Amino acid sequence: MEIKRREGEAISAFLYRFSKKMQQSGILIEAKKRKRKARSVSKSKRRLSALHKEQKKKEVDKARKMGTL
């Protein structure tokens, strides 16, 4: 994106026009998304998490069948 200052244009008007173009283009939103992007979880951690969830689900199902939950 390229914005040039018009002849005789005040700096405040130029900054206003620039900020409008930046907001409309979506560049700032994309940059903020990329800045906060989390790293992917390793395969072993995903596996352990899945096993843990499965174990907890079995415990909850068993408790429901027994009537303690």
Residue-wise pLDDT for 35-64, tens only, equals 887 788 899 999 999 999 999 999 999 999
pLDDT band at 32 (very low <50, low <70, confident <90, very high): confident
Long-range contacts from 26-31, C-beta under 8 angstroms, 24+ separation:
27/1
- Give how many domains the chain has, as a whole number: 2
Same domain, 8 and 28: yes
What is the model's pLDDT at position 61? Answer: 96
Structure tokens at 60: 């909850």
Can you give the pTM of this predicted structure? 0.46
Domain that includes residue 57, residue range: 41-69
Measured between alpha carbons, how far is 9 from 11 in angstroms, rounded to an integer?
6
The secondary structure of residue 41, as a DSSP letter, is P
